[in-house]
Amino acid sequence: MLRKTFLKHLLKAIDTHEKVFHYMHERGYYPAYDLNQLLHNDVRNANKAISMTYER
């Protein structure tokens, strides 16, 4: 029973991931097949995170 439940949740998560991926890719939010753009976005996001101020 537990195995069936885990499998059900895993398959649902995979299905949801696929839907989100296609949604984002079709709208240009995630350039999955353009490595240069992905790296550019990662560097931009990393620099943005580094420059943020955090409360302690």
Q: What is the mean pLDDT of residues 21-26?
A: 95
pLDDT digits (tens, 9 = 90+) for 24-45: 999 988 999 999 999 999 999 9
Question: Is the alpha carbon torsion for 35, 38, 43, 46 positive or negative?
Answer: negative
Q: Domain residues of the chain, as ranges? A: 2-51
With a threshold of 0.85, does the pTM exceed it?
A: no
pLDDT in the model for residue 12: 98
pLDDT in the model for residue 6: 97
Greater confidence, 54 or 26?
Answer: 26
∠ CA 46-48-51, rounded to 5° = 110
pLDDT in the model for residue 54: 86
